[in-house]
Structure 1
Amino acid sequence: MVTAQETTLQGLLEGTRQYLVPLYQRTYSWTELQFERIWDDVCQLARDRADHPAATHFIGSLVLAPSPAMGSVGVAEYLVVDGQQRLTTLTILLCAIRDHLAEHVSPKHRLRLDQQYLTNPFEEQRWLKLVPTQADRDAYVACVKSTPQAGGDNAVGRAYRFFAKALDTLGAAEEPITVQQIESAVITGLALVAITAKPGDNVYRIFESLNNTGLTLTQADLLRNYIFMRLPNRGQAVYESLWLPLQQRFTPTELVLLFWLDLVHRDPKVKQTDTYSTQQARLEKLRTEADVEAEVQRFSRLGALLRVILHPAEEHDPAVRQRLERLSAWGTTTVYPVLLHLLDRRDQGTATSEQIAAAMLYLESFFVRRLLIGRSTMNINRILLAVVTEMDRDLPVHEAVRKYLSTGRKHWATDASLRALVRTIPFYLNGRASQRSLVLRWLEESHGSKEPVALEKLTIEHVLPQTLSEEWAQMLAADLDTDETPGEAHDALVHTLGNLTLTGYNSELSNKPFAAKRTALAKSGVQLSRDIADRQRWGRSEILTRADALAERIITSWPGPTEESGNQSDVPWDVLAKALAELPAGSWTTYGDLAALIGTAPQPVGNRLANHPTLNAHRVLQAGGIVAGNFKWLEPGRTDDPRDVLRAEGVTFDQHGRADQAQRITVEELAQLAGITPEELPERAPRPGPGQGGTYADRFIEQLTARQSPAVTTAVLVLLEEWTTLGGTLSYGTGGETSCFLMARRREHELGSIWPAVIYPGGKFEVVFQHLSVRTPFDDVTLREELRQRLNQLPGVRIAAAKLTLRPGFPLTVLADADAREALLDHLRWFYDQAQLDTPDEADLI
């Protein structure tokens, strides 16, 4: 049974009372958003009470339970089961009011407010009215005692600073109110319902029923709460010696990760959202406090290991540290379960540092080789989560990891497959930009140069440029295959590993002929680039020769699978099928584009489509937009003209039977459809403007200036300035080519972030329809279509309707025309206005 009574802060705090926040409660975590809301409520209430002194404002409930330690006389002690965030905030506000009145009105207010509402002045042991959790206690005591530490860099301190500042600015408000009016509103005007349990009630069960949805508490919070409910006698000691250090070592998200990783060791199918319920079911079987305490000790030990994974610099063994640093840089968190297992094995004495370093090298090789053959993401999560439970426990741990990754269809490329596919797979279109850059950096490091270069500052350079000029077309023409055009050869070669290097000489390279590039590359401190400078020309034979040399270096640096490796198709036909299945109506692609996507030649693609039923195969044409002469339907008896089918789908043909090139889906766009190029995301902290406040902004401008003409560079900077003037912000990508995102909403917005376009220094204004398709309000296709039509009004811009789910773009040179730039700004203003939608009131959602 519980009792409920409406009360005020005065009713709660007057008298000799103490409110204890139990260990199973989360730490104080309100932010400025909540501070602003409660402050606005208090200010409005103070204004209302000027005319209606009895006015009140209801702010919620407070669930209390008598403390098990409370006797029949003395301080009335209560546990705060629910509502501690609100109660803590209001007492911090009282501290700020007290200090303001003591400084600006009279020192007597300090003693008055302390003795009435903040302390029990005649109780040495229970002098605080409110006792927060241990983690918040020092900061809270500093506020109550008004020491120099009050207002520190923590959640309690931030609350105190917010209210102190707000009180200082009261007189400047449009409707001035006094601090005394604020105090009265807080003490007697804010109404609460105090719900009090009876002695003997299971307090934690009440708490859990209020909070077990996981919406207000993290999975780690709920687990902590459950654990300390199970430790009525040992709770304080376990909290201070084990839990608090663990909690201080990690962020809330990292704590959830720790408890999930512990479960994944047993069952790789456990979802992170089920962490609390699964851990609780496991801990429910424990019978004694000693058993529960032992589990907390085990969590503490695993936490020390996870800390090393998250912060590799803390690892003592150099070889293990290097592997952890590399796997951390790779950015795949699903490797954490096996890494935790490896460190745990060493900690338990069943594996050596040498063995776990070798196992980590096999994992690194697994990632690198899969990326190199275009299979970086396929089933990667399932494979990695199952390593611990499925690997052979009778083998040394490094051999067990290698054996597991070698068997079945896990796409860990053999040496033979690697040698073949490195020549043809479009490496630059696979995986994340950061991962591609890492592979090239690690290859450069394998040379062991005695004069190391700051590789992290370099960007990936296409030696054969991404835009094919007449001079480069002539160079490629020297060794074309039969019936192959320079454009097809370019598509097949430009993104392969053999054509890529790292450089800081963007301004000297750009789209220049090879003779000019050689001169710049010869000056480079990067061995990968100097090797290219030794060549007299740069065509197919040179690119393939370099690919062969890089393949041998890769094989030496990253050992491959055992001989048990299963038979795996060298050509990723599944990627081709996925791209074609996603190819939208009203578009088409070529045999050469598909061949470049999967690292083969146009003829095998044609043979594949002619003999294997594949969805949308009729949308594959020859490079000039012509239906292949030997095209045939695989459906028996079907004889209709594929051009008629394509016309019905929306493809336009000219009088010569050639499909509109604007509707062609390129290699890069096919990669988007196949899902092998994850959308780059902006840096977490948006920048206020170009060149202000951070290295990414500076790098963007440096790269833009180096790669574009002064006219284009100036036009882009003018556009960015206008964008920020109308209210937008700028954020930057963290890849080798530093992109600039036009942010119409930030992450903190109630509808989430949104941006219409990304600008690349290499020369592309990319319209992110793919991103917009899942962002309010542009998840409405009619708005995306209006944006497309608006952009197509610009001179030189033609975006096909079939690309409304992709990331098409147009050259930055369009912006050099002042009229075109002003028109684009008008369209961006329209976009910005559309993105600033009001969210519905909570009342509208009930």
Structure 2
Amino acid sequence: MLRQLDASKESSTLPTVCEGARMDTKDHPVIVVLGDQRQLVVPIFQRQYAWGEERLKAFWEDVVAKAEETTEGKPKFNHYMGALILAPGSDGFTIGATPLVQVIDGQQRLTTFQIFLAALREVGNRLNVPDVGNLVLPYLYMPKMEGDTSPKKHRLVPTAEDRAVFHLIIDSGLAGVRKQHPKLFFQNGKLIRGSAPVAVRAFWYFIEQIERYARLGLVDEEQDGNGGTDEDAGAQGLRLHALLKAMLHHLKLVVITLSEDDDAQVIFETLNSKAEPLLAMDLVRNNIFHRAAAQGEQVEELFDKKWRPFDKNSTFWKADSPRAKPKRPRIDHFLSHALTAQTGQETSLRELYSEYRAFTRPGGKPRFQTVEAELDALVEFASIYETLEAGGADADLTWIGRKLAIWEVSTAYPLIFRIANSSAPDQEKKALYRLVYSYLVRRALCGLTPKNLNKTFARLTAEMLSHGVSLETFKGAFANQTGNAVRFPTDTELEEAVRTKAVYTMFNRKDRLADVLWDLEMATRTKFSVDTPRPDNMSVEHVMPQTWATRWPLPDGRLAPGDKVTGADQKMLEDIRARDGLVHTLGNLTLITVPGNTAASNSGFVDKKPWLLKSLLALNLEVTSGDAWTHTSITDRSTDLAKRAATVWPAP
């Protein structure tokens, strides 16, 4: 656990500029910037704090990525957060007074750092990890000068418009904000985001994210498709310390310290010009062809043969990947996947250029004899990636691409790259794609976390690199994997989950549940079934509705009270609990068109049957074959679907 965070271990202070010196540029971790002996003052002419949720989310993901790496050992690379421009304070230097430095550019980042630290302290106190708050304090407040009896000074003094609310957050936390500004909160204590100042919204956002991460080890809601449980206090404390260490030690800034003679405004405008920002792949391209020219290789020929396809289809490659996280252009995601496919090691998208340089020179020695060979290794997966993202002539590759899109699991791409690019027979490739998808579905139905999929697929890629692409390699990779975070659920476990688990509530993405039901629909069809393609407007339908009490009699013929409690005897309460335990299981779920779902609604079974029949689905023909839909009907269908499931989603 992190016990000491000392800026002196990194550097004693930020570079200072003596009279007559010129602009000084160095990179520093955040701990040095916030541990400096000078107070950071934002000039009055700077704009107010303005980071919205999109920027905050990107920052949060950067911190969590480093925190996750920190818990596994020292991160390979530090993450750069941009530039910070400092200028000498206007008050000069006075003995016994706190020296000042002006923040010409970078105040948005600095303000975010401070709000994040305040939120970390807030969550630490909530979760009874107070030492986190103690470690945070030196980076929120200036150290007292000897003999100074004045109130403690803040590390950062923002613009006048932001100052009051910002210092309220730093000094008094959420309780202080709520006490001074009660109208910013609903009666249930939640923040009214639309009326709250931007800094308060940022504070609230970080508190929510940090607490959720500390309790559950989860980064965002999309990552947790099957729910989660609180971890013990020790694990929560470790996560909070990891977040603090990640932000202070592994986020860096390029600090530009100006002299008295430097024109701060000119430098500010130059660094903040409207030029289109470079992508990581742009840096890689420049690096590659610069080295090719230096080594005497045919640069123009290499560019035309190897690189021009990226430029010709720039609309595709430079568009943000719609299903991958974080939000970045496809070409950057492709490079990350390609590096993992080549090495079998996870690749950090946030340090992609550094990752690429490390890939080309492992251990300081060139991996490739020529730049052309390096380019071949880079671009050999390009057409596979295009097919996964947009479809193509390879039907099996297109199929797995669409499945992975529904589940938003692009972390499987490196493994798919290796399989698709191998010499394995087409049937074996198809079987491997099916196993990859089966792994996702089985784990979801069994309620197992999707959190470590990136590590699992990187490990499988490494296995394929070491032992060759085959079903035997895939099987061997799971032979001794018994932990809940990685294992491939057995047939017995899958069948039990289909029979008993409330999958409707487990899946927070109903389009994925609809995809599961469609797979079962295809497995249910026979040569006599109508061979209709999957419609676009299908909805997951409860055969026995969620609000069944007033229209669907219990097994003894009685109707339950509306609240399922009032006037119910012991036998009725038992029947109600049994029914509620069945309603969300797979045996009570089917597919129906959206208009059909609306029309059928909470109708009784007799009224609902015609709408189910109109769908022409084999699943619904099974459901409507009887005259009633009872507890026994649901359990019998669950048993049938459970037997089918092991074939639909096979094990290795």
TM-score (norm 2): 0.49
Q: Which has the higher contact order (CA 8 A, sep 6+)?
A: 2
TM-score (norm 1): 0.38
Structure of higher CA gyration radius = 1
